[in-house]
Structure 1
Amino acid sequence: MIGAIKRGWANFRGFDLTGSTVPPMDGPLRPNAKLDAAPVLLELADVDNLVSCGQQVLCSVGSDIHTLAAMTGDDGEGLSIGRSRAMGKPVTSMAAFGDLLAVAVEGEGIRVEGPDGASSELINPGQLDARCVTAMAFADRSTLLVAVGSERNPAHEWKRDLMTKTAAGSVWRVDIGTRSAVSIASGLAFPSGIIVSNGRVFVSEAWRHRVLSMGIDGSGQRIALGSLPAYPGRIAQASQGGFWLAMFAPRNPLVEFVLKEDAYRRRMIETIEPDYWIAPSHATGRSFLEPIQGGARKKLNMLKPWSPAWSTGLVVRCDKDMAMVRNYQSRADGAVHGVTSLCEVEGRLLVGAKGSGKIVAIHELAGHMA
């Protein structure tokens, strides 16, 4: 009763009981430009799903899977595309266990491949929605954990999923041998990253700005990391212990405000193209039609420090309990935005920035860029 009276009074006076504030980038998230200073190994538009499989490093671009090869040039070490193969439909996620590779193909299912793609098996349990597999992780060679971002929107419509305030995501345990799947968590707000460690499953829940921890059967669910200032995405194991966490877009107060204004938000969705919504993005500054342009965002060709940030680059180093230790950033005026995938190889972390179309390297042992 008291709550209803408070809400009524707040509506009448124009108070904001929920708040549109975003937690500050402070402590382990203190701003820096380390991603921009990191060496660029390869420029590849829309690069995604970096994964180490056996002795190879793979990535995806749309419906193609590329095998990356090390190369040495005038600018030092880098990567090049060794060979490519087409999957026919967009690749939304990949995971590896030794030389075993799992590939989620939008609308088709999950393909489990042997070394070099010599053997391929399609797994498509009827109850698992193959349109929006956002992340996968092997628990062992016969068990695959799968994060389904949404049952209502395909993976590429993640902005629509956020702006319609959908919470129709789930986590599944797939038995590769029997081709069966069991849901271990549901009602999640766009789970976008998953990893298994010491019998626990860590899941990034993007739209609730947190990372969950649960048992392999979904039991004992709790918040391992919460109140994040950005949307958490994929998680990678760190060879020195702990994890790497990618955050694919920043939160900002303007988006938080729009999420509460239902009538405005519905009209925006119905009448404007998604690229121009007041919403987070993998990359910005590509069109004058984007929101908050001109003098509201830049002056004398310099980005105003108080203008809303639609995209950034952010990688966070976490310990074994998912507590944040340090971060690597590309700030709002940087050039390594939209980090969606991570892959540690030979003592360095490869960072895939889908928004900027770059793969850069971080050296973990030294605690700074290679």
Structure 2
Amino acid sequence: MLWHRKVARRAPGMTLEGVLGANDRLDRAAGRKVPRPGALCIAADGRLLLSSGTGILALAAWDAEPEGWASFDAPVTALAASPGGGIAVGLAGGGLSVRAPDGSPADGWRPPDGLASITDCLFLSEDEVALVDCGYGPADDILSLAPWDERAAGKVVALRRDGAPRLLADRLHCPMGLCRAADGPLIATELERARLVEVDGGAVRRAGFPGYLGRIRPGPEGYLLACLARRDPLIEFLKTETAFVADMKAAIDPHHWISPRVDPAFSHDFPIELGATRLFGEVKPWAPSFSYGLVIELDAEMMPIASAHSRANGHRHAITDILSWRGDLIAVSAGSGEVLNLGPGGAAA
């Protein structure tokens, strides 16, 4: 039994080499500041919808001024668009609002009870939407908790317009994203397990990614994978030091655990970051950093073919979403509070 547990928790196999090798694509990308950005989707009329705190903004073109599209009583945590123009909006605390193309509430939709937090959603038809519940509430620091939590409390639920929910999958370990594979199955990302799994049956499609996985979207060559941070060697090593981890969890606030983070700002509240002390007034790109910006482009077989990075000396960290819009890759950096335009994707970018 002990041997089995060690195998199940071994560090991911992919390293930041080859097509995953370090670069500065995220830091070179055009960007625009947005208050508290998080999720993206493309409306049926071609506009880019972007969550901003408790509201949603609409962009008609990259250089256009954003327009208010809808506002809510809670922060927006997920977005999805249907071919017919409907927009599903996940809200903090497990709430859901489905909107018509003009932003007005659509009739007949009510969120199911018992959801902790909707991290992603996907229309299965015009009258049914799949919801990803990561299992953590809005007050929980997911990036601090998930790397050290063995609970598999996440699930995917399908909700019909008439309000009848059905469970598609449960016992997922912090699922964050959802997309439909080209060959049909729904694929979910698991943040800490660094893998893509089929919702129906749990088969692992691809594993060993060198990042903490966020959302997955269709892309020009196959798929686009947003990562909230890179895998940290210290964290992976400490998973073998059970006594240390038990003391850390018992004595220290989760915000100060040795875990990935969103904010790239240097802080003396985190002693481990003394390893990133400036050399000649600079933080070097290879310095220790628990925050990181990483996008992975995948082919049709979900193998990496290209990547975009913001390293320790960058600030465009914690990529929460990415999609292809009008030929360009558009990403959200929660670390810098920006929406980024990476230009065309692909290995030659």
TM range (shorter): 0.7 to 0.9
Is the aligned partner of 1:141 residue 2:137? Answer: no
1:346 paired with 2:346, answer no
Higher share in strand? 1
Distance 1:169 1:17, change over 3 A: closer
Gaps in structure 2 of 5+ consecutive residues: none
Q: For residues 57 and 287 of structure 2, what CA distance do their matches in structure 1 show? A: 37
2:296 aligned with 1:312: no
Residue 83 (structure 1) aligned with residue 68 (structure 2)? yes
Residue by residue over 1:306-340, the C-alpha shift from the partner in whole angstroms, topping out at 9 and shown as x without a partner, is 64331111111112221221111112222321110
Match among 174, 199, 215 for residue 234 of structure 1: 215
Structure 1 window deviating more from structure 2 (201-210 vs 141-150): it is 141-150
For 1:40-84, what per-residue CA distance to the aligned partner results, in whole angstroms no more than 9, with x for missing partners? 2x11242110111123222112222222343xxxxxx63533225
Which piece of structure 1 moves more, 295-304 or 136-145? 295-304
Matched, 1:132 2:112: no
Distance 1:306 1:38, change over 3 A: closer
- Displacement of 1:114 in angstroms is 0.8
Equivalent residue for 2:269?
A: 289
Q: Does the 8 A contact of 1:64 with 1:84 survive in 2?
A: yes
Contact 1:153 1:161 in 2 (8 A): no
Q: Matches of residues 197-208 of structure 1 in structure 2 within 5 Å?
A: 197=181, 198-208=183-193
Q: CA deviation at 1:20?
A: 6.1
Is residue 20–residue 254 contact of structure 1 (8 Å, CA) maintained in 2?
no
Q: Give the alignment of 1:241-280 within 5 angstroms.
A: 241-280=221-260
- The sequence identity of aligned pairs, in percent, is 27
The match for 1:44 is: 34
Question: Which one-letter code corresponds to 2:118 in the other structure?
Answer: V
5+ residue gaps, structure 1: 11-15, 71-76
Q: Name 2:55's counterpart in structure 1.
A: 64
Q: CA RMSD in A?
A: 2.9
> Structure 2 vs 1, CA of residues 322 and 21 (structure 1 numbering), >3 Å: closer, same or farther?
closer
Do residues 114 (structure 1) and 100 (structure 2) align? yes
Larger radius of gyration: 1
How far apart in 1 are the matches of 2:97 and 2:148?
A: 31
SS in structure 1 of the partner of residue 131 of structure 2: strand
Give 1:157 deviation, angstroms.
Answer: 2.4
Shift of the 365–283 alpha-carbon distance from structure 1 to 2, 3 Å rule, reads closer
The range that moved more, 153-162 or 91-100, is 153-162
Counterpart residue type for residue 27 of structure 1: G
- Take 1:155 and 1:188, find their aligned partners in 2: how far apart are those partners? 20
1:32 alignment counterpart? 23
Question: In 1, Cα distance between the equivalents of 2:35 and 2:20?
Answer: 27
**Pair 1:21–1:185, CA change in 2 (3 A):** closer
> By how many angstroms is 1:350 displaced?
1.0
Are the counterparts in 2 of residues 22 and 253 from structure 1 also a CA contact under 8 Å? no
CA contact (8 A) 1:139 1:196 kept: no
Partner-residue secondary structure (3-state), 1:254 = helix
